[in-house]
Copies of this chain bind each other. A is one copy, B any other.
């Protein structure tokens, strides 16, 4: 028997299901690099913003300070990220050469991954998504005010 499911008409539900499909696909694409999604995003943000700090990366990615710690640790252990003491509190993060290589490979895979999905959507739909999703995201601030 196939069940009815009125949740299908809910935006939040659709978003969650769609997001989870893409996350699963991404994880698979990155599996043999032994990089978790959260680690790749961190790697890419550091690549674009040399000498940024840990909390800055966290802010850009909506990852809490406390949760950045193991991510950075692991990236450093693997020799992908290097850090230099800036002042008594903060560090400046950069990619090692190996980190840059890894980041390039990751970007290539993310491109493939993204293309698999955007190909299924018309250009117009994709445009709307890129306009609408940030609106939903931004609602958080409005929400926090109230």
Contact = CB atoms under 8 A, between A and B. Distances in A.
A132 interface: yes
Given A61-B5, A139-B116, A16 B19 contact: yes
Contact of A11 (B10, B48, B130, B139): B130
Interface in A6-35: 6-26
Interface of A: 1-26, 41, 44-45, 48-49, 52, 56-57, 59-62, 110, 113-114, 116-118, 120-121, 124-126, 128-137, 139-140, 143
A69 to B, nearest CB: 18
A17 B133 contact: yes
Contact of A133 (B1, B15, B62): B15
